[in-house]
Chain A
Amino acid sequence: MSGGSVILRALGPSVSVQDMGRPGRMAQGISRGGAVDPLALVEAAALLGSRSPLSALEMAVSGGRFEVTAPTRIALTGAPMQAELDGRPLRWGASHRMEPGEVLSIGAARTGMFGYLTFAGGIETPVVLGSRSAHLAAGIGSALESGARLPLGVDPEPDAPAMVLTQDDRFSGGTLRIIPGPQTGLFDEDTFARLTTTEFTRARQGNRQGVALESDAPALTSDKAEGLASDVIFEGDIQMTGAGTPYVLLAECQTIGGYPRIGTVLPCDLPRVAQAAPGTKLRFKAVTLDEADALAPRWETQLQAQRAKLRPLIRDPHDIHDLLGYQLISGVTVGRELEEENG
């Protein structure tokens, strides 16, 4: 049995298939890649009742129009985007049912950068090195183009009720917790202190490999970086460029680099970096190693936490237990008003 396929139409500038990526291959020069906001995949798994994160469409800045050839549930997670199914507004951070012939339109992000469209049966493109993720920097896979069709897995429970959860707000900047790293010692105490007292702005330069930050403060540089051997770099590292401005590495970063790194953003705060649109304010706050290690849950643990937040998405009057508590204008209501009220 096939789950049919999804037809991609009028796609935004950067839509690609992403899952949890390829961890454990740094010795081969391959960074994890995968979703730059893995929490969005965990949210989708919770909404769709999946035991593990599914491969999804990662949509930078805007989505596109989508049709399916077999009924399936979908989840909309990550950065909230304008979404409609056949003209009917859809709640973000929720699951919905989609039928063949219906057109799902996903527009611009209202806040944040990366939205995720997950199908309940997953996307069944070929697995390369243990993952379906496009890793453009590594030359694996490619950005998707309008007109393409991708095979879908079968929705194991197409009639399961639509669900909604309140997403952790990570779309509008804020505080990034950091720990010192192997090269923090190359910077003097004053420079490190200024890193944590300066307000930074997400610069225009940024993609799945990393994000540049800027500020009015004097450059944060090291005078001990001359002749430094290239060393292992990874997601979360804060590289200090020659200009003394931070560049935070994301999922698709290189694996060896020569710029000194002043510290590392904790994995749990990386979605906040990835989702910061240009102009968003970000700050760094140093935490102890013990605090950091306590804040590094595996996705299994995160999935339990997201499941605990699920509530039914009320869309049909017959499903509403306290229907009499609602004021029914002219005695008639349609799902949309209730859905919007619930939203």
Chain B
Amino acid sequence: MTLEEALRPGTAQAHRPQILPAGGNGLLVRFALVAEPTAIAAAQSFHQRVTESDLPGVREIVPSLVSVLLRFDPEAVTRTEMAQRLETLLSEADWQSAAPHPAQRVWHLPVAFGGDHGPDLEGAAKLAGLSPQAAIDEITATPLSVLAIGFAPGQPYLGLLPEHWNLARRSELNPRVPKGALCVAVRQLVLFANASPTGWHQIARTAFDVFRPDQSDPVPLHAGDEVRLAPVSGTEMDALLKAGDPMGGARCEVRS
């Protein structure tokens, strides 16, 4: 299928990799339309592959949940050439069974569940068919991966949680969750960069600041990093928030 053909209305492919034009000087490699585990793994693996392969003319690589966006320099490479190179990369692996390399960096983030720091914990746990404590145990035992950074600066999408966490968004928008709110829906957790309205369920809070524009490393989390949530009490979280350190008690373990 040519690029033009792939764009015809009514041709969206639900479950196979597609190379699709994406705005001026952009191409998107997408593995599925919905956030299914095989497509998420494929997108993570392909992001690693395309980053390592160092294709000439690539200006920007943007990983997302089930896709990778590539922005190219039109004076170095044409759209068709770029698409051919991506097609070649795609042909070199079976993306249905792709597994990303293990994360090099593991972040351990203190979070306080429930109470004022997670007003929706009880409701969300119930929707997942769990007691609040069982929900906390399960979420903190799950190795989470940074699936994408976006929507707001530095804001991570973490996942995937087990199937029963495939919660719909709240029927009523929560008008304001605070900066650092940890919210759950559709088997994912989002850690809010700023106070924001949301339809997601706020189950916890962290003092870890995901966006620090005045620092040399403004966005500490990267797509592909692993995240482990370490439960602390509400009082401990209050102290961490009061201390104002952007690390919020977190530490980053680097695997060799």
Convert A109-124 into 0s and 1s, putting 1 for each residue whose CB lies closer than 8 angstroms to a CB of B. Answer: 0000000000000000
Does B230 have its Cβ within 8 Å of any Cβ on chain A?
Answer: no
In the complex, the answer to whether A184 meets B9 with C-beta atoms within 8 Å is yes
A289: which of B21, B152, B213, B223 is its contact (CB, 8 Å)? B21
B39 neighbours in A (Cβ, 8 Å): 229
In the complex, the answer to whether A298 meets B153 with C-beta atoms within 8 Å is no
Q: CA of A191 to CA of B8 in the docked complex: distance in angstroms?
A: 12
A264 neighbours in B (Cβ, 8 Å): 22-24
Convert B20-43 into 0s and 1s, putting 1 for each residue whose CB lies closer than 8 angstroms to a CB of A. Answer: 111111101010111100010000
Known: A230-B157, A293-B74. A140 touches B151 (CB 8 A): no
Q: CA of A250 to CA of B120 in the docked complex: distance in angstroms?
A: 34
Does A224 have its Cβ within 8 Å of any Cβ on chain B?
Answer: yes
B61 neighbours in A (Cβ, 8 Å): 27
In the complex, the answer to whether B213 meets A26 with C-beta atoms within 8 Å is no
Does A216 have its Cβ within 8 Å of any Cβ on chain B?
Answer: no
A138 neighbours in B (Cβ, 8 Å): 152-153, 211, 213
A330 neighbours in B (Cβ, 8 Å): none
B223 neighbours in A (Cβ, 8 Å): 27
In the complex, the answer to whether B60 meets A188 with C-beta atoms within 8 Å is no
In the complex, the answer to whether A29 meets B151 with C-beta atoms within 8 Å is yes
Convert A157-199 into 0s and 1s, putting 1 for each residue whose CB lies closer than 8 angstroms to a CB of B. Answer: 0000000000000000000000111111111110110000000
Instruction: Please tell me the size bucket of the interface on B.
Output: 35 or more
Does B4 have its Cβ within 8 Å of any Cβ on chain A?
Answer: yes
* B33, closest chain A residue (CB): A228
B63 neighbours in A (Cβ, 8 Å): 27
Q: CA of A30 to CA of B218 in the docked complex: distance in angstroms?
A: 11
A234 neighbours in B (Cβ, 8 Å): 22-23, 26
Convert A315-334 into 0s and 1s, putting 1 for each residue whose CB lies closer than 8 angstroms to a CB of B. Answer: 00000000000000000000
Known: A229-B34, A293-B74, A293-B79. A26 touches B69 (CB 8 A): yes
Does A87 have its Cβ within 8 Å of any Cβ on chain B?
Answer: no
In the complex, the answer to whether B21 meets A181 with C-beta atoms within 8 Å is yes
* A189, closest chain B residue (CB): B9
Candidate in B25, B59, B61 with the most chain A CB atoms within 10 angstroms = B25
Does A2 have its Cβ within 8 Å of any Cβ on chain B?
Answer: no
Q: CA of A249 to CA of B154 in the docked complex: distance in angstroms?
A: 20
In the complex, the answer to whether B24 meets A231 with C-beta atoms within 8 Å is no
A296 neighbours in B (Cβ, 8 Å): 24-25, 74
* B25, closest chain A residue (CB): A296
Convert B59-84 into 0s and 1s, putting 1 for each residue whose CB lies closer than 8 angstroms to a CB of A. Answer: 11111111101010011001100000
B9: which of A179, A192, A293 is its contact (CB, 8 Å)? A192
Shortest distance in angstroms between B246's beta carbon and chain A's nearest beta carbon?
13
Known: A138-B213, A236-B24, A296-B25. A29 touches B75 (CB 8 A): no
A227 neighbours in B (Cβ, 8 Å): 33-34
Q: CA of A237 to CA of B69 in the docked complex: distance in angstroms?
A: 14
* A195, closest chain B residue (CB): B9
Shortest distance in angstroms between B179's beta carbon and chain A's nearest beta carbon?
9
B65: which of A129, A137, A181, A231 is its contact (CB, 8 Å)? A231
In the complex, the answer to whether A29 meets B219 with C-beta atoms within 8 Å is yes
In the complex, the answer to whether A229 meets B7 with C-beta atoms within 8 Å is no
Shortest distance in angstroms between B187's beta carbon and chain A's nearest beta carbon?
11
Known: A27-B63, A184-B7, A232-B64. A128 touches B213 (CB 8 A): yes
Does B206 have its Cβ within 8 Å of any Cβ on chain A?
Answer: no
Candidate in A28, A236, A266 with the most chain B CB atoms within 10 angstroms = A28
Shortest distance in angstroms between B5's beta carbon and chain A's nearest beta carbon?
10
In the complex, the answer to whether A267 meets B24 with C-beta atoms within 8 Å is yes
Known: A128-B214, A256-B148. A29 touches B7 (CB 8 A): no
Does A255 have its Cβ within 8 Å of any Cβ on chain B?
Answer: yes
A139 neighbours in B (Cβ, 8 Å): 153, 193-194, 211, 213
A181: which of B20, B59, B152 is its contact (CB, 8 Å)? B20
Candidate in A128, A185, A296 with the most chain B CB atoms within 10 angstroms = A185
In the complex, the answer to whether B213 meets A298 with C-beta atoms within 8 Å is no
Interface residues of B in 210-234 (CB under 8 A from A): 211, 213-214, 218-219, 222-223
A292 neighbours in B (Cβ, 8 Å): 24
A28 neighbours in B (Cβ, 8 Å): 149, 153-154, 218-219
B148 neighbours in A (Cβ, 8 Å): 230, 256
In the complex, the answer to whether A254 meets B150 with C-beta atoms within 8 Å is yes
Does A288 have its Cβ within 8 Å of any Cβ on chain B?
Answer: yes
25 A–B contacts, CB within 8 A, in A order: A28-B218, A129-B213, A138-B152, A182-B22, A182-B67, A185-B10, A191-B9, A224-B12, A227-B34, A229-B32, A229-B66, A231-B67, A232-B62, A234-B23, A234-B26, A254-B150, A254-B152, A255-B62, A256-B157, A257-B151, A264-B22, A267-B24, A289-B21, A292-B24, A296-B24
Known: A188-B10, A293-B74. 9 other contacts (CB 8 A): A27-B61, A28-B153, A29-B219, A224-B33, A232-B150, A234-B22, A234-B23, A236-B23, A264-B22
Q: Report B's interface with A, CB cutoff 8 A.
A: 3-4, 6-13, 18, 20-26, 28, 30, 32-35, 39, 59-67, 69, 71, 74-75, 78-79, 148-155, 157, 193-194, 211, 213-214, 218-219, 222-223
Q: Report A's interface with B, CB cutoff 8 A.
A: 23-24, 26-30, 128-129, 137-140, 179-189, 191-192, 224, 227-232, 234-237, 254-257, 264, 266-267, 288-289, 292-293, 296, 298
The 8 A-B pairs of least Cβ separation, nearest first, read A185-B12, A256-B150, A180-B7, A229-B35, A182-B20, A255-B150, A28-B219, A29-B150
